[in-house]
Structure 1
Amino acid sequence: MKSDRTDSSGSMRHREVLESLSGLLLALFVAMISSTVVSTSLPLIIGSLNGTQTQYTWVVTATLLAATATTPIWGKLADLFNKKTLVQVAIVIFVAGSMISGFSQDTGQLIAARAFQGIGVGGLQALVQVVIAAIIPPRERGRYNGYLGAVMAVATVGGPLLGGLIVDVPWLGWRWCFFVGVPIAVLAFIVLQRTLKLETVRRENVQVDYFGAGLIAAGVSVLLIWVSFVGNSFDWISWQTGVMVAAGLVLLAVAVVVEKKVREPVVPLHIVVQRTPALAIIASLAVGMAMFGGAVFLGQYFQIGRGYTPTQAGLLTMPLMAGVLVSSTVSGRLISRTGKIKPYIVSGAIVLVLGFLGLGLVDHATPLWIVGIAMAVVGIGVGMTMQNLVLAVQNDVPLRDLGSASASVTFFRSLGGTIGVSVLGAVLANRVSADLAAALHVPAGQASTGGVSALNLKALPPQVQAVVHTVYGDATAHIFLISAAVAVVGVIAALLLKPITLRTTIDVSEKTDEPASDAVVG
């Protein structure tokens, strides 16, 4: 029976949609700010804990990896259980992880805590999009992408600024970069409880493929650990490389076999092998690698490579976030008006490549206005592709598979981001280590003097600080060029997408024998 919260077509009225979105957008905001708030403060955090460049990378990678590994599980659970309850569970996990991160005493504890926090982040990233897709038809969803874009922009612009201010205020300190998200998460929990009303649709004989998800997580983890240490701790051609690469590939191959046989796979192969989802996943993988991998190191570039404070670094990254806000809002409204989505995805993918090519030309002395333009172009590309790739898949699948399909795209985008951060971080670490060793005339692999981390600038002599600035500022360009090359794959996948006209109904026309998902109730 249709609720009084819906119109004659069965869709929710605009006011009710906004009410339901309020808690969801808060949850998405807190998930995003958990990463952005530490983006500018991470160099100082790792420096104060006397960590290494590899540990710097793994503080980010741990969260992305945990989020990636759990995203398919959250998506499958969303097809089986009440979505609102799952979002709230993800918030609780996120809060616990944030508190543990804030009390960490060394980089090992921080990496472990960030991994636990990533489980909650994965749930929030996947479930918010799933719930939105369950209450808003694809054709109308572009209209609300502007709100998503605004939240993304506020989180990505405000996060670095907030993180910079926190670490620059002596009586707060870097631990508050993790504590600050807790009250926002609690508020999101309360708002969701009051505004989001979803009816629970129970299905008998529910099965979640935890084994398959575990295999995927293990396979990806082994390969990422190999990427982090190869070329530094051991050679590319070595028995360690052979063992780790073989183990990772075998685990992933077994995961594919398991996913084919189980009744409720976490990654629905029958969906992801279809043309639109498959190409959207490939594009998302490439966009994730380029976007996360490149953007994570911008804060480090401004602080370590250019010598700016965390607050100044946050301000300097604003062109990137402004590009995301403007392009996601404008493209979302144009998509809702026309119902066409492919032209915007293709254009965004091309713009993303151009932006990273621009960043690939920077060094420690490049004028800031040039860096700002390149960042803005990257932001425009991200805003036009990221959410719209998810929308393209959601438009193609029945409501009963919405959670799994949406989570699959998010999973591969996060996987791309995890791989991107890990690979680019390893490239940067090796390049910086070699260049510092040459500049300081110390043995290869020794990136500082006196056992002090190169990221702990305040503890280094002034002449060494100048060398570190130059080396980091020049080395960062190489990872942006790699990001540009990876983003080209996204352009090819976007070009191969078939023309898509967004439907105006919540579900596809096919009828199913069982209830598809949670229904909106008053």
Structure 2
Amino acid sequence: MLLASLDQTIFSTALPTIVGDLNGVDQMLWVTTAYILASTVMMPVYGKVGDLIGRKPIFIAAISLFLVGSVIGGLAASMPVLIAGRAVQGIGGGGLMILAQAIIADIVPARQRGRYMGILGGVFALSSVAGPLLGGFFTEHVGWRWAFWMNLPLGALAILAAVVFLRLPVRAHSRPQLDVAGTASLAVASASLVLVSVWGGTTYAWGSPQILGLIVLTVAAALAFVVAERRAAEPVMPLRMFRERNFVLTTAAGLIIGVAMFGALAYLPTYLQMVTGASATEAGLLMIPMMAGLLVTSTVSGQVVSRTGRYKAFPVVGTLVVAAALALMASMDPGTPVVVICTYLAVMGIGLGLAMQILVLVVQNTFPSSEVGTATASNNYFRQIGASLGSAVVGTIFSSRLVDLLSGASLGGGSAGGDAANSLTPEAVRQLPEAARTLVVDAYSNALTPVFGYLVPLMLVAAVLLVFVAEKPLATTIDRAEEPVEGLDREPALV
């Protein structure tokens, strides 16, 4: 969990420098989107295969693929290679969080799972600050490529720990019937949908043949996916899951939270560097209030759920708190004190900590252990689709507004803003003349903060959906048909 979540946050503070060095500010959003899209497509595959053959071997394989992508990214000399490395990382990373959550479900009953999910949420909270801090440190002292190289020892440790200590139930199916048609159509639909959100209204007009063609392809691939799932012997995302009200409601809410969370957080460190003048390391430190809020509420809510068995109120309140935080962030401007911005981030963290892990728990409590991996992966798939759309849409709006605001402006040395914007780094902005620096700061602020306000109604919709979740009793035992355990001939101890 730490390996995967660090990688989703470490580039936030390093990103402005990376894209400036590789002359690719106009491709900035793809560094984030490529990873999220690749991991999203792979999530249902890891979930289903893990249910069929056991999670340990594919867990190790996922970590290994993640490390291969890290090597590609670390060696990248151009934006296309960097984006390719991030995509390979995503192919492996799609299995890390899903399998970590499903492994907990393999060994811990639902009633006690809240406290463990709270710990996993705490790890995510830790990485939400440690990632930007490390990214800032590497950028300023040893070079941004170490954001990739640091994964190698951490990944090797994760593989070693999995090989030596991980003891999980052995599944009955040694040769799973992979749902190739369903996986392929799901991948095409996912990629096409994200491309529409990235290119629509910017690279291509909304009414252009390219965008209309992608929309048609998205719909056609989605229909093909439904047909494939009806015919598949082992569907990657069984349609019967959508008959469960709790699954549908929490999945829809998770998608919306993904849009808001990743859409907002992906570009906040960039905002902090460009608008407040914070260094990369300082931008990471300024994210600590969000981490603290998420860590406390995630851990405390997990403990309360395990003790009381009551969980419905937490995600409802959490989504409302996130909506309030987004509304506050939409009011920010270059004159907003840093301490006020940190307060808004703390409110965001409190809301996310109340909601995120509980939604996974609700889904896992809805299905038997033989399907928990598939259900967890499917739920997370839609949340990641939201993350892809959030990062893409916010990034697209942000980038296009920024270019428009800087277009034709002089940034010093006779450079036009539209041409020079692609090479802007935080350090370059600090070296600009006062008038030009003010122009850039205002442009970054005016390009990003209004987008936060657009996300508020979405969070209110998520809160309404979660009101209708049925609070079913949490299971106190694990209903498991498989008795053998990998590496042991007894049940695993909880250490």
Under TM normalisation by the shorter chain, which class is it? over 0.9
**Amino acid aligned to 2:319:** A
- Residue of structure 2 in register with 1:38 after alignment: 11
Could you tell me how far apart the structure 2 residues matched to 1:118 and 1:201 are?
Answer: 26
2:219 to 249, 254, 269: 249
- Equivalent pair of 1:63/1:118 in contact (CA under 8 Å): yes
Which runs of structure 2 are paired with 1:340-351 in the superposition (5 Å)?
A: 340-351=310-321
1:148 aligns with 2:133: no
Change (3 A) 1:364 1:451: closer
- Residue of structure 1 in register with 2:352 after alignment: 382
Could you tell me how far apart the structure 2 residues matched to 1:190 and 1:233 are?
Answer: 45
Which runs of structure 2 are paired with 1:35-74 in the superposition (5 Å)?
A: 35-53=8-26, 55-74=27-46
Could you tell me how far apart the structure 2 residues matched to 1:403 and 1:214 are?
Answer: 20
**Amino acid aligned to 1:86:** I
Structure 1 position 488, deviation (Å): 2.0
SS at match of 1:198: coil
- Equivalent pair of 1:68/1:415 in contact (CA under 8 Å): yes
Structure 1 position 245, deviation (Å): 1.1
- Residue of structure 1 in register with 2:59 after alignment: 87
Which runs of structure 2 are paired with 1:28-427 in the superposition (5 Å)?
A: 28-53=1-26, 55-169=27-141, 172-203=142-173, 206-427=176-397
- Equivalent pair of 1:342/1:499 in contact (CA under 8 Å): yes
Could you tell me how far apart the structure 2 residues matched to 1:123 and 1:186 are?
Answer: 16
Could you tell me how far apart the structure 1 residues matched to 2:53 and 2:235 are?
Answer: 15
**Amino acid aligned to 1:40:** T
Structure 1 position 45, deviation (Å): 0.6
Change (3 A) 1:205 1:90: closer
Change (3 A) 1:450 1:83: closer
Change (3 A) 1:129 1:516: farther
Could you tell me how far apart the structure 2 residues matched to 1:237 and 1:80 are?
Answer: 44
- Equivalent pair of 1:33/1:181 in contact (CA under 8 Å): no
With the length of structure 1 as denominator, give the TM-score of the two structures.
0.89
Change (3 A) 1:64 1:518: farther
- Residue of structure 2 in register with 1:25 after alignment: none
Change (3 A) 1:76 1:517: farther
Structure 1 position 374, deviation (Å): 1.2
In structure 2, runs of 5+ residues without a counterpart are none
Change (3 A) 1:518 1:64: farther
SS at match of 2:10: helix
Change (3 A) 1:67 1:217: same
Per-residue CA deviation, residues 319-368 of structure 1 (Å, 9 max, x unaligned), is 11111101101111111111011111111111111111111111222111
Could you tell me how far apart the structure 2 residues matched to 1:133 and 1:56 are?
Answer: 37
1:505 to 459, 477, 480: 477
**How many residue pairs get matched?**
484
Change (3 A) 1:452 1:62: closer
2:418 to 448, 451, 461: 448
SS at match of 1:448: helix
- Equivalent pair of 1:259/1:268 in contact (CA under 8 Å): yes
Could you tell me how far apart the structure 1 residues matched to 2:221 and 2:422 are?
Answer: 38
Could you tell me how far apart the structure 2 residues matched to 1:331 and 1:452 are?
Answer: 44
Could you tell me how far apart the structure 2 residues matched to 1:140 and 1:233 are?
Answer: 49
Structure 1 position 284, deviation (Å): 0.6
Change (3 A) 1:471 1:378: same
- Residue of structure 2 in register with 1:488 after alignment: 460
Change (3 A) 1:149 1:240: closer
Could you tell me how far apart the structure 2 residues matched to 1:484 and 1:65 are?
Answer: 24
In structure 1, runs of 5+ residues without a counterpart are 1-27, 509-513
Structure 1 position 123, deviation (Å): 0.5
Structure 1 position 447, deviation (Å): 4.6
Could you tell me how far apart the structure 2 residues matched to 1:201 and 1:222 are?
Answer: 34
2:406 to 420, 433, 436: 436
Change (3 A) 1:302 1:87: same
Could you tell me how far apart the structure 2 residues matched to 1:179 and 1:37 are?
Answer: 12
- Equivalent pair of 1:454/1:468 in contact (CA under 8 Å): no
Structure 1 position 439, deviation (Å): 4.9
Structure 1 position 241, deviation (Å): 2.2
Change (3 A) 1:305 1:318: same
- Equivalent pair of 1:71/1:407 in contact (CA under 8 Å): yes
- Equivalent pair of 1:341/1:501 in contact (CA under 8 Å): no
- Identity percentage of aligned residues: 36
**Amino acid aligned to 2:368:** P
Per-residue CA deviation, residues 124-154 of structure 1 (Å, 9 max, x unaligned), is 0110001101100011011223321331122
- Equivalent pair of 1:283/1:491 in contact (CA under 8 Å): yes
Structure 1 position 80, deviation (Å): 0.9
Structure 1 position 454, deviation (Å): 3.6
- Residue of structure 2 in register with 1:465 after alignment: 437
**Amino acid aligned to 1:235:** A
Q: Which moved more, 1:215-224 or 1:65-74?
A: 215-224
